[in-house]
Amino acid sequence: MAKPAGPSAANAGMFPDLRRDVAFPVAGMGLLFGAFIAFGLLYQSLFSGAAERLVTVAMIDAIIVLGIQIYVGNTGVLSFGHIGFGAIAGYTFAIFAIAPAEKAKRIPDAPLGLADLDVGSWGAAGVAVAVTVVAAIFVGIGLARSGAESGAVAATVITLALLFVTHEVARNWPEMTGGARAGLSFRIGGALDTRTPIYVALAGALVLARLFAQSRRGRLAKAGREDDLAARAMGVNPMVQQMIALLISVAVVSVGASLRVYETGSILPENFFFNYTLLTLAMLIVGGRNSVTGALFGVAVMTVGRELARRLGQDGFEVFGLGLDGAPLDWIFRENLQTVFFGTAMLGFMIWRPRGLLSDWEFDEWLYRQLTRSQSAPGVPRTAVGADHGDRLEVAGVSVVFGGFQALSNAGFDVRSGEVVGIIGPNGAGKTTLLNVITGLVPAASGQVRLNGVDLIGAPSHEVARAGLVRTFQNLRLFGSLTVRENVEVTRLMAIATHDDRSSPETDVLVAAAGLWEHRDRRAGELDYGNSRRLELARAAAARPRFLLLDEPTSGMSDAESQAMVEHVQTMAALVSAGVVVIDHDLDFMIGICHRIYCLDRGAVIAAGTPEEIQADPSVQAAYLGLPKSD
């Protein structure tokens, strides 16, 4: 069934492709939800008594784990703090939901007249979500900023501190929380008498988690997760995506936490602390943190595993009807075996299978691929090369000093749209440093980078990209666990959202133009060298650049591949009407593709001209071969 390939025309909405990104996820998550519930009901009919409670608890755990997945899975930042947010939500819910008569006994001195307030359980859940999301905004700013500055590790420590602090506050503020011993309670044995709200919340959490992952924001967040630097170079500002993911994630966790408190009928500081953090994180990690399907799968696997561990700890092998009392393994079957189970599961998976059981696999994506396998490659329009659209890039007087080393001194070049300009020079001449200055990765001591007259020097990376200067990376910085198509698509989404004055080729056209059609659904991390280079090119082109900056596009390629790359670069530049600045060592490639060439040596431009002039220039030969100049 050959259908027109790819999503319909430039769609700057929340979802790139309604069928793939909304219809399939909703249907797929509906099926998963049904399977999860069916499994739970089956389990509970097989094992009587406590099994019913176990299934209820597993469903609530699933809501919270899915909430955590929205942040951890999409941003790649490990958070210990979500259970701390859960504590804030849980206490807020309890304070607002418990009847005034009961509060008068437990927290008569609560400030702000909270002791007399009665808003009912629905209202309380709403307040809990609102309060927690406000707290998340404050924490999120610190998270995003320190994460951007010092890496994801710093963000993780802040989340850990949050967990610890909510716990301390809960213990030491008895007027509000009932303290460490008594806590707050509705009535013993649970206050929730129907599962309906749990079903609704779980189904909602599943669909929301999956839709966020497919949405424009979610995709941009994933680009940042895969490679922060490359995402910025494509125009993504990961701070924004992380904040949005955090808020949605915290809202879902708040609902789950409220249900958890209501189901238990009480809340104590220990309910939302380290042990529960370990439990929820282990479920997420074991199932596969990058996948919503995986998160749900992890909840099922770990719940069953925990129950087995608990009963083994209680009764040893008698669980299986084996009368091995006093058997040699009795030393291991003790109370608290579940904690050992969770700790070892976490450690074992980190060492041997860090991406979890399902890794990136999503049920609905698999369904979609099964139904669209036979798509044919789209035609690549033949556009005239070399048309000038009036864009000018003028780089002048750029100097960079590393310590005592003058990496660039007064370097510069200029290029117009439709033109291909090359920069050559021996190793260490400063070619990549020049690109790094232009794209905002290295600060310059002086100089100008003027795009159509606007000076971009010193602008942050993602703003340079949005202005229209987009680069590839010499050392390949693809979004490794996204597919080839997703790599291109996420960049294109960014471009559509930030400047809609220029037309943009379809994702599939770009993929086909780079010669990657047959690899479109493979993960970028699995590609060989040549294909990775071509994907770098397609991804940069998808950002709708005014100028493509290519850092050694043929490095590591065979001669035949380099020659083919000339055509790929020309097609790509023509497709997006961009000019090209290219750095490379392969002189045949450079002469084949460049209109003009600049030669850098020791940080300064020593020659400029057509490929023929450069080849004939004695100072270029001297720089390359180390010969003394003839003069």
Please identify which residue in 200, 350, 387, 616 interacts with another protein, judged by CB under 8 A.
350
Q: Which two tokens stand for residue 344?
A: 């070892």
Please identify which residue in 105, 145, 187, 389 interacts with another protein, judged by CB under 8 A.
145
343 sits near another protein (criterion: CB under 8 A):
yes
312 sits near another protein (criterion: CB under 8 A):
no
Please identify which residue in 337, 424, 467, 490 interacts with another protein, judged by CB under 8 A.
337
Q: Which is nearer to another protein, 346 or 622 (CB)?
A: 346
Please identify which residue in 43, 297, 342, 517 interacts with another protein, judged by CB under 8 A.
342
152 sits near another protein (criterion: CB under 8 A):
yes
Q: Which is nearer to another protein, 10 or 347 (CB)?
A: 347
Q: What is the CA radius of gyration of the chain?
A: 29
CA–CA–CA angle 251, 257, 261 (5° rounding): 150
Q: What is the dihedral angle through the alpha carbons of 278, 284, 288, 292, rounded to the nearest 10 degrees? A: -170
Q: How far is the CB of 144 from another protein (least distance, A)?
A: 9
Alpha-helix runs per DSSP H in 173-273: 174-177, 196-214, 216-226, 228-233, 238-264
Which segment (147-155, 182-190, 399-407, 559-567) binds another protein by CB under 8 A? 147-155
Q: Which two tokens stand for residue 67?
A: 């909430």
Q: Which two tokens stand for residue 445?
A: 């001591």
Buried-exposed string 266-286: b where 16+ CB fall within 10 A, e elsewhere: bbbbebbbeebbbbbbbbbbb
Q: Which residues from 73-132 bind another protein, rule CB under 8 A?
A: 76, 78, 80
Which segment (151-159, 200-208, 255-263, 398-406) binds another protein by CB under 8 A? 151-159
Listed in sequence order, the residues at least 6 apart from 624 whose beta carbon sits closer than 8 Å to its beta carbon are: 426
Please identify which residue in 46, 112, 351, 560 interacts with another protein, judged by CB under 8 A.
351
Residue 249 · residue 71 · CB < 8 Å: yes
Q: Which is nearer to another protein, 164 or 624 (CB)?
A: 164
Q: Which residue's entry shows tokens 């559509």?
A: 496
- CA-wise closest residue to 294 among 367, 364, 226, 362: 362
38 sits near another protein (criterion: CB under 8 A):
no
Please identify which residue in 141, 322, 385, 627 interacts with another protein, judged by CB under 8 A.
141
Q: Which is nearer to another protein, 356 or 418 (CB)?
A: 356
Q: Which is nearer to another protein, 142 or 556 (CB)?
A: 142
- CA-wise closest residue to 206 among 114, 274, 297: 297
Q: How many residues bind another protein (CB under 8 A)?
A: 49
Residue 159: exposure state from Cβ atoms within 10 A (0-12, 13-18, ≥19): buried
137 sits near another protein (criterion: CB under 8 A):
no
37 sits near another protein (criterion: CB under 8 A):
no
Please identify which residue in 252, 255, 285, 614 interacts with another protein, judged by CB under 8 A.
285
Site string for another protein, 390-429 (x = CB under 8 A): ----------------------------------------
Which amino acid belongs to residue 351? I
Site string for another protein, 352-391 (x = CB under 8 A): --x-------------------------------------
Residue 64 · residue 260 · CB < 8 Å: yes
Q: Which is nearer to another protein, 109 or 501 (CB)?
A: 109
445 sits near another protein (criterion: CB under 8 A):
no
Q: How far is the CB of 95 from another protein (least distance, A)?
A: 17
Please identify which residue in 18, 114, 154, 608 interacts with another protein, judged by CB under 8 A.
154
Site string for another protein, 162-181 (x = CB under 8 A): x-xx--xx--xx--------
Distance (Å, rounded) from C-alpha 349 to C-alpha 345?
6
Q: Which is nearer to another protein, 292 or 541 (CB)?
A: 292
Q: How far is the CB of 596 from another protein (least distance, A)?
A: 36
Cα 8 off chain centre by: 25
Q: Which is nearer to another protein, 156 or 555 (CB)?
A: 156
Q: Which residues from 5-24 bind another protein, rule CB under 8 A?
A: none
Which segment (43-51, 157-165, 409-417, 457-465) binds another protein by CB under 8 A? 157-165
Residue 72 · residue 250 · CB < 8 Å: no
Distance (Å, rounded) from C-alpha 279 to C-alpha 61?
9
H helices then E strands: how many in the chain? Answer: 25, 12
Distances, alpha carbon 135 to alpha carbons 88, 141, 210, 237, 267, in Å: 9, 10, 24, 22, 20
| Beta strands 596-601 and 420-424, pairing class | parallel
314 sits near another protein (criterion: CB under 8 A):
no
Which segment (5-13, 34-42, 342-350, 424-432) binds another protein by CB under 8 A? 342-350
53 sits near another protein (criterion: CB under 8 A):
no
150 sits near another protein (criterion: CB under 8 A):
yes
Which segment (158-166, 183-191, 543-551, 602-610) binds another protein by CB under 8 A? 158-166
Phi, psi (degrees; rounded to nearest 5) at 579:
-85, 165
Centre a 10 Å sphere on the Cβ of residue 613 and count the other Cβ atoms it contains.
13
Distance (Å, rounded) from C-alpha 490 to C-alpha 71?
18
Buried-exposed string 482-491: b where 16+ CB fall within 10 A, e elsewhere: bbbbbbbbbb
161 sits near another protein (criterion: CB under 8 A):
yes
71 sits near another protein (criterion: CB under 8 A):
no
Listed in sequence order, the residues at least 6 apart from 387 whose beta carbon sits closer than 8 Å to its beta carbon are: 417, 418, 574, 577
452 sits near another protein (criterion: CB under 8 A):
no
Q: Which residue's entry shows tokens 């593709």?
A: 593
Q: Which is nearer to another protein, 20 or 523 (CB)?
A: 523
153 sits near another protein (criterion: CB under 8 A):
yes
DSSP 525: G
Distance (Å, rounded) from C-alpha 216 to C-alpha 236?
11
Give the three-state DSSP class for 394: strand
For residue 395, the cross-strand partners are: 413, 449
501 sits near another protein (criterion: CB under 8 A):
no
149 sits near another protein (criterion: CB under 8 A):
yes
Which residues of this protein are in contact with another protein, per CB under 8 A?
76, 78, 80, 138-139, 141-143, 145-154, 156-158, 160-162, 164-165, 168-169, 172-173, 274, 278, 281, 285, 334-337, 339-340, 342-344, 346-348, 350-351, 354
